[in-house]
């Protein structure tokens, strides 16, 4: 069965970077884009961008351009989302998903930004 398993919770200081991983199984990793979505408590779901594991092509939401990098390692079927220059507003649960209209989501990774 299709599974996306994300890395564990992180605590970071303001100005630091975080890299969240998303390991895929149960399907052809290179066949589907990986999207990243976050949820800030008290606010809505926010689309961050997509990464095509086959080509390495990416597309980022304007809000995150210059601060986010999405990559993939096909040898270990894992996608990564790195967000830099963190601030308290980046405290959120980050999700990977196989596409945008999809039943396949990771379990979420809580990233806490605190001094």
Partner 1 sequence: QSALTQPPSASGTPGQRVIISCSGSRSNIGHDSVNWYQHLPGTAPRLLIYNNNQRPSGVPDRFSGSKSGTSASLAIRGLQSEDEADYYCAVWDDSLNGVFGGGTKLTVL
Among residues 2, 9, 11, 100, which is the contact residue for partner 1, using CB under 8 A?
100
Closest to 103 (Cα-Cα) out of 114, 91, 95? 95
Distance, CA of 115 to chain centre? 23
| # residues contacting partner 1 (CB under 8 A) | 23
d(Cα 90, Cα 30) in Å, to the nearest integer? Answer: 29
Residues within window 18-77 making contact with partner 1, judged by CB under 8 A = 35, 37, 39, 41, 44-47, 50, 59, 61-62
What does the alpha-carbon distance between residue 33 and residue 49 come to, in Å, rounded to a whole number?
10
Task: Name the residues that contact partner 1, by CB under 8 A.
Answer: 35, 37, 39, 41, 44-47, 50, 59, 61-62, 93, 95, 97, 100-103, 105-108
């Amino acid at each position: 069965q299709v599974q996306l398993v994300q890395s564990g919770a992180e605590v970071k200081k303001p100005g630091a970077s975080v890299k969240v991983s998303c390991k895929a199984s149960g399907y052809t990793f290179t066949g589907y884009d990986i999207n990243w979505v976050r949820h800030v408590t008290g606010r809505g779901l926010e689309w961050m961008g997509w990464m095509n594991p086959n080509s390495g092509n990416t597309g980022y939401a304007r809000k995150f351009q210059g601060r986010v990098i999405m990559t993939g390692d096909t040898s270990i079927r894992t996608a990564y989302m790195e967000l830099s220059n963190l601030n308290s507003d980046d405290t959120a649960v980050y999700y990977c998903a196989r596409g945008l209209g999809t039943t396949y989501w990771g379990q979420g990774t809580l990233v806490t930004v605190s001094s």
